[in-house]
Structure 1
């Protein structure tokens, strides 16, 4: 199960990276279009879709690598059961919020599909298509938080510490 979850997080990160490369290409095409006087309809809208997809798909991988911003002032002052209790409570609340975020993201995709919502930009893209990346990203993010919660409850959670704080101090 561990390998499957790690593969899920890594796969989402690779997909996010692919969307980032596609975003770069879209921005370059937009710049070239302005310089050489040609227009690709909807390229700005597609760049926005790609940026959102990259951000949402990278959430779980970023969480699992300890790169999300985390306020540790209080938790570092605690020891033993109090610290574990606060960790469990924090992870449970984060998992709940992530599940709600995933639920409403999936619901938004469903509603956009059911109501035939389209982009107001000149590309007229059905909105459920770019929203799908958001829904998938938030579902994987919720799974990652549930994973962290279960690991904490079982005493197997490893704190992935970002080296960023060490480089800034």
Structure 2
């Protein structure tokens, strides 16, 4: 199961990277169009779709690498069971909120598909297509939050080191 989940997080991050490349292509196409006097309709909308997809699909991988911003002011002053209880509470709250967000994201994409909802932009894209990236990213993030909670509950989650000073630029 561990190998599958880690592959899922890595796969979602890889798709997020592809979306980032797509975003770059849309932006460059828009810039070139302005400079060379041509217009490709929908580039702004597709750049937005790519940005949303890449952001949501990268959430789980970012969480699993410990790169999400954490407020550790209180956590650093706790030791032992009090610290573990706070970690469990925080991870439980994150799991619950991410599950709710995943549920409503999937529901939104499904309803957009049922109602044949299309973009109001010039591209007239069926909205369930770009919403699918958000929904899948939210589901994978919910799995990652549940994964972290279970690991903490079982005592298998590694010690959380204060690497903030290492990540500041």
TM-score w.r.t. the length of structure 2 is 0.96
Distance in 2 between residues matched to 1:76 and 1:115, nearest whole Å: 50
1:2/1:133 CA distance change after superposition, 3 Å: same
Q: What pairs up with 1:81-160 in 2 under 5 angstroms? A: 81-159=81-159
1:44/1:160 CA distance change after superposition, 3 Å: farther
Instruction: State the 1:167 CA deviation.
Output: 5.2
Distance in 2 between residues matched to 1:14 and 1:100, nearest whole Å: 25
Corresponding residue pairs, total: 169
Q: Structure 2 unaligned runs (5+)? A: none
1:60, 1:140 within 8 Å by CA — same for their partners in 2? yes
Instruction: State the 1:168 CA deviation.
Output: 3.8
Aligned to 1:60: 60
Instruction: State the 1:115 CA deviation.
Output: 1.2
Q: Structure 1 unaligned runs (5+)? A: none
1:162/1:115 CA distance change after superposition, 3 Å: farther
Distance in 1 between residues matched to 2:28 and 2:160, nearest whole Å: 36
Q: CA offsets, 1:147-169, max 9 Å, x none?
A: 00000000000246574423549
